[in-house]
Amino acid sequence: MMKHHKSQRARRSLSRRGLLAAGLVAGPLAMMGISTPAHAASSVTNITAWEGDTGTAATALKAQVAGYNKTYAHSCHVTTDFIAATGHTFTPKLLTALSSGSGPNLVLSYSEPQDMAEVAATGHVVTLNKYMAKEGRPGSVFYPAMLKASTFGNKVYSFPTDGGDYGVIYNKKIFAKAGITATPTTWAQLAADAAKITKAEKGVYGFYVPFGVNEWTVWTFESMLWSEGGHFLNAKNNKALFASPAGVAGLNVWVNLLKDHLAYPTSLANSSQNAGYPGFQDGKVAMYIDGSYDLGLDDKALGTKNVGVFQFPKVKTYAMNTGTNQSFMTTGTPAQQTCEWDYLKYMTSPTVQAKWDVATGFLPTVRAVANTPTYRAFVAKDPRLNVFVHELKYAHTRPSIQNYAQISAELGKQIESALMQQESAKAALSAAQAQANQILAQG
């Protein structure tokens, strides 16, 4: 999740950029429309990839696949099927398809990385370690936190292909009217700026807290927890620790913004996104949390010169959570798996991923991309992107455990309860932690 809402994944996408979400639907599948001739030669292996890209990402994927098919025309040919499901509705359908043997050869831009352990447990996802060793593709070519999201017991089940994290997007015009000349680096400074804005601009709140019971809320809260020095689970991943004093202090930062009427009081999420950018674009809030993938939407609404970005503030130390769409192989014939691997290699090569990131707004998942001429030129045109790339040095990732999604669901409900001031941050996190420990105890 990177981001994890719909625009984060097409968005997004991050939105995410809202988020780009892949999904499965029952019944006939709508074809993406990549018109390349069918290959009848027996030497050519045809494979199918499921994806859910929209907008500019759909155009970019079409070009990417066409480039691959041209390069590998003598041996492999990829056809994409556009699947119209999104986000959390995808995983149950994917599990059913894999278990029944009706799934594709590849899944591209899977937007629920927190569910990868459950998908891998079906036994129908191909581990990549032997391919990586044979082809000289060590895990070190990726940003560590991004690859960790789908590494279980030292086995790599997918590659991170659409990188995302989040910063704070702000309205420069509102900042200027409130007399704010520098962006905050701590949450205490952000609260002070939010107070200035709320006082200076009638009807405008300084900040939007990530409301919701979904993964987006939990994903962003985890950076607050880590910034306070806390931990989500213990080292053995068998006990939850997020209800610690660090977790309570981190959540109370947001609770206090709401209590002090400095943050927008209700949810701005909808079926398309969870970050709350509609409120930002409508001038209801001056600051909100989002990824690089939604900058284009904000620029269109407010004008590029009015949209700024600053690093996710710290409480005690800087911390960031990575979110990446994952792409992976499923079991097939040896020839099919060879082509599946060839495509994964192709799409994660620095030059190809650089073009993809420029077209979609995603962050690099391969370290070398940031130094390619294509990506350097892209960032030079929009220096705001440097903020998101810079934050990767402080990146953590969500626990790589099979029941993370269950724990996140319980935690999301309790966080929202605290934000709505139905119970204290301590009581909410304690209740979620008790549920999490029951889930962990049950295996």
- Does residue 34 have a pLDDT over 50? no
Per-residue pLDDT of 209-235, as tens digits, reads 999 888 899 999 999 999 999 999 999
- Does residue 200 have a pLDDT over 60? yes
> What's residue 43's pLDDT?
86
Side-chain half-sphere exposure of 307, counting CA atoms within 13 A = 27
In angstroms, rounded to a whole number, what is the distance separating the alpha carbons of residues 370 and 389?
A: 8
In whole angstroms, what separates CA 182 from the centre of its chain?
A: 28
Instruction: Tell me where in the chain the CATH 3.40.190.10 domain(s) lie.
Output: 6-164+324-384, 167-321+400-441
Measured at the CA of 260, the angle between CA 255 and CA 266, to 5 degrees, comes to: 60
The stretch 275-299 carries a mean pLDDT of 95
- Does residue 176 have a pLDDT over 70? yes
Q: Which two tokens stand for residue 157?
A: 């089940």
In angstroms, rounded to a whole number, what is the distance separating the alpha carbons of residues 46 and 88?
A: 29
In angstroms, rounded to a whole number, what is the distance separating the alpha carbons of residues 196 and 177?
A: 10
Other C-beta atoms within 10 Å of 437: how many? 17
- Does residue 11 have a pLDDT over 70? no
- Does residue 323 have a pLDDT over 90? no
Dihedral sign computed on CA atoms, order 216, 219, 223, 226: positive
> What's residue 317's pLDDT?
96
Q: Which two tokens stand for residue 245?
A: 């004093």
End-to-end CA distance of the chain: 23
- Does residue 12 have a pLDDT over 50? no
Other C-beta atoms within 10 Å of 228: how many? 22
Three-class SS state of 168: strand
Tokens 């620029």 correspond to 299
> What's residue 150's pLDDT?
81
- Does residue 385 have a pLDDT over 90? yes
> What's residue 86's pLDDT?
62
The stretch 37-55 carries a mean pLDDT of 76
Across the chain, mean pLDDT equals: 87
Domain 6-164+324-384 fold: D-Maltodextrin-Binding Protein; domain 2 (3.40.190)
The stretch 238-263 carries a mean pLDDT of 98
More confident position, 274 or 261: 261
Find all residues with CB under 8 Å of 94, minimum gap 6, and list them.
Answer: 23, 24, 103, 107, 110, 119
> What's residue 32's pLDDT?
30
> What's residue 386's pLDDT?
92
- Does residue 250 have a pLDDT over 80? yes
Find all residues with CB under 8 Å of 418, minimum gap 6, and list them.
Answer: 251, 255, 424, 425, 427, 428, 429
The stretch 350-355 carries a mean pLDDT of 97
AA letter at 301: A
Q: Does an H or E element contain 323, and which?
A: strand 323-329
Q: Which two tokens stand for residue 346?
A: 């192709």
- Does residue 358 have a pLDDT over 90? yes
Closest CA to 63 of 94, 26, 41, 32: 32
Q: Phi first, then psi: what are they for 356, rounded to 5°?
A: -65, -45
Strand partners, 151: 156
CATH for the 167-321+400-441 domain, from 3.40.190.10, 3.40.47.10, 2.40.50.140, 3.40.50.360: 3.40.190.10
